[in-house]
Structure 1
Amino acid sequence: MTEIDLEKYTYHLPDERIARFPVEPRDVSKLLVYKQSEIKEDKFYRLVGYLPKDAFLVFNNTKVIPARLFFQKDSGALIEIFLLNPVEPSSVISQVMETTQSCTWVCMIGNKKRLKGKLQGKHTIHETDDLVLEAELIDSEKNHVRFSWNNATLTFAEIVKYFGQIPLPPYLKRQTEEKDYETYQTVYSKNNGAVAAPTAGLHFTEKVLFDFEEHDINYDFITLHVGAGTFQPIKVQNVVEHQMHSEQIVFEKAFVERLLKYHTFVIPVGTTSMRSLESLYWFGVKLLQGDETFFIEKLFPYQDKQAVSIEASLQATLQYMNSKNIEQLVGETEIFIFPGYQFRVCKGIITNFHQPDSTLILLVAAFVGDDWRKIYDFALKNNFRFLSYGDSSLLIP
């Protein structure tokens, strides 16, 4: 594997260009349109006018959960437990969010040295009813925390709404506000499990989606539960050595069938949808090689392989689902998309403006080539807002 020098993919982002809050309404944010190497500026609510007639858009319908849980000990010490990945009763996030018993998660733990014994939090639902949530560190090395609660009618998804806080990206440098519980979710969010929003989708409104219907633009949904690793900066000079995080992805069989039908011009909404789609392709390749493991390793796409068409990959996936009699496919991916990657599914992308020295900048550079710098220079010179609550772009190389 050739070295990829991080210094080639950095730029200066002034702090004042980071959007601390979203614009309202969502769809009046700026839209940078990059097509055939030309760049222009418009408003997001006019997006449909720039989409090819045969475009098939893919949205990530994950829902951000209040993953920051705070417990105060009798001593006054504050312990923060940040949910990462479930391990019991299942590793499938959607199943664990619906459990009404107890569950165990891999967590990040703030003030961990003070965590001894069980932690307990209380929340009054009715005047006479106290909801009690207990947290116990059962494996200190792996940071496994078991949660249990005293109301068997409530799911864990409902529990974290009472005790948790929506985790905003650290670069916003502010506390979560009440409004964020609405604005840091997409209007089509559905499946609980993300600790960060798929922010390219934050610009969409019901009106924009209605425009798709009016113009016969096809679209569908997948689920990738965005993990905390999405904010992990690259700290190595040769980016190939960066340790990529793994995230869970979910595909319905009906989606795979639609993708096979509309695969000619696929435009993912966001980097999470792009990583999901490309990972789905590589799962099909694995199946054709006789490997049924849906875990896409970081550098799997860069190993020498015979070319496989997207049709052949998707057909193999559908055949696998039919043989197993399953309607839903759950996998894991740590795919690392950087310059040199050959895209197999995606022909365009709708995405925000990302941090310098990040895996997401590398993904954009892999997709549009050296023009990534021209795009970002234009955005900086024309007062575009950056990062999660910032403006949007449509990139069609």
Structure 2
Amino acid sequence: MKLTDFDYHLPQQQIANYPAKRRDHSRLLVYDRKTGQIWHKRFYDVVEFFDPDDFLVVNTTRVLKARLFGSKTKTGGKFELLLLRELEQGVWESLVKPGRGMNAGVELSFGEFPVGAEVVDVHADGSRTLRFHPPEKVYDLMEAQGIIPLPPYIQRQPEDSDYERYQTVYNRYWGSVAAPTAGLHFTPEILQNLKRKGIEIAEIILDIGWGTFQPIRVDDPRKHQIEFERYRIEPETALKIKELRGQNKNLVAVGTTSVRALESWYKQTDGSLEPISRDTDLFIYPPYQFKLVDKLITNFHLPKSTLLMLVSAFAGRENILRIYSEAVAEGYRFFSYGDSMMIL
């Protein structure tokens, strides 16, 4: 397997810099793995592709306002900060730029806001561990001064609308630096229509890290190390999914983050599906035998990316590349704010 096996051509103008005017008006490509049939629809049509024996699993993580600006307390030197992951209360793995001079012991300030931070460790990958004081005020700082971190391929600064549109309508728990983008197309009306059809919905949490945007830098993707991300399956959700699977219901996962959490859950509990809160670095690529996920709703992913490899494992690499080629020809919009596909 080579990294170039997962490449495709995408015109720059088909990278979506803004979402569709309405969430459910994004386009929807539906692919049936059994028949090879493809439908071109809008996302508001998605309900008709659910069978009565399906159930839905969504990732309810919320995107942090994780970009912060401040100054070194002693010198006044300005910096930009991206909080990546909370290691314990008040202690965060972070990216800082400029990194020069950001050594252990450096104190940081955030204007008049009554929160400070200290660099406590510098890592080989350039990230820093920061300790905030008082530790319980970090989320207040983000709420007051933070900026939502849009993906690097969106060539603009965040606008007011992004604080709504770069979150799912069912977000509940702070923790991510990127959105579970397949969920951005859902509206309260679609969720209600699914429930009316008898489709049950289970909620899980995987906090998405910056590693989701990290390119693979080795020719053999199997040598790539994916970054750890934290996921949680609460007792009520674990019981619900086990009961539905016991009734031979089909699990429809919303997004690659839900897939990684679910498949990690199966692996890390040896199939017992007990409640769990753990880190995962599961990297899914062909060939992979899926244990829990039967159907998938996802966006269109970057060439040579770990996410493209996951959907290739689910639907077949040649099938995915053929579908992507058709989507490009049909003018679909790609990546986080782009269109969606459903794989049956």
Distance 1:158 1:104 in 2: 15
Picking from 176, 182, 188, the partner of 1:200 is: 182
Aligned-partner SS, 2:115: strand
Supply the AA of the counterpart residue of 1:121.
F
- Deviation readout 1:295-324 (Å, 9 max, x if unpaired): xxxxxxxxxxxxxxxxxx2xx343xxxxxx
Q: CA deviation at 1:122?
A: 2.8
Does the Cα contact within 8 Å between 2:253 and 2:297 map onto a contact in 1? yes
Mean Cα deviation higher: 179-188 or 114-123: 114-123
Q: CA deviation at 1:156?
A: 2.9
* Map of 2:262 onto structure 1: 277
Any gaps of 5 or more consecutive residues in structure 1? 89-95, 97-102, 124-130, 286-312, 319-327
* Map of 1:222 onto structure 2: 204
Does the Cα contact within 8 Å between 1:79 and 1:114 map onto a contact in 2? no
Which of structure 1's runs of 4+ aligned residues deviate more than 6 A? Answer: none
Larger radius of gyration: 1
* Map of 1:127 onto structure 2: none
Q: CA deviation at 1:161?
A: 1.1
Sequence identity (%): 39
Distance 1:378 1:317 in 2: 38
Mean Cα deviation higher: 262-271 or 198-207: 262-271
Q: How does 1:1-397 map to 2 (within 5 A)?
A: 4-35=1-32, 36-73=35-72, 77-88=77-88, 96=89, 103-115=90-102, 117-123=106-112, 131-141=113-123, 143-149=128-134, 155-263=137-245, 264-285=249-270, 313=271, 316-318=272-274, 329-369=276-316, 370-396=318-344
Does the Cα contact within 8 Å between 2:252 and 2:295 map onto a contact in 1? yes
Supply the AA of the counterpart residue of 1:106.
E
Q: CA deviation at 1:76?
A: 5.8
Q: TM-score, normalised by structure 2?
A: 0.92
Mean Cα deviation higher: 109-118 or 18-27: 109-118
- Deviation readout 1:243-280 (Å, 9 max, x if unpaired): 11110001111111111122231010000001111111
Aligned-partner SS, 2:143: helix
Distance 2:98 2:328 in 1: 39
Q: CA deviation at 1:132?
A: 1.8
- Deviation readout 1:216-254 (Å, 9 max, x if unpaired): 111111000000000011111100011111100011111
Supply the AA of the counterpart residue of 1:380.
V
Does the Cα contact within 8 Å between 1:22 and 1:389 map onto a contact in 2? yes
Supply the AA of the counterpart residue of 1:391.
D
Distance 1:138 1:6 in 2: 37
Distance 2:3 2:137 in 1: 44
Distance 2:321 2:120 in 1: 48
Supply the AA of the counterpart residue of 2:147.
Q
Q: CA deviation at 1:107?
A: 1.1
Please provide the CA RMSD for this pair: 1.6
Q: CA deviation at 1:372?
A: 0.5
Any gaps of 5 or more consecutive residues in structure 2? none
Q: CA deviation at 1:86?
A: 2.2
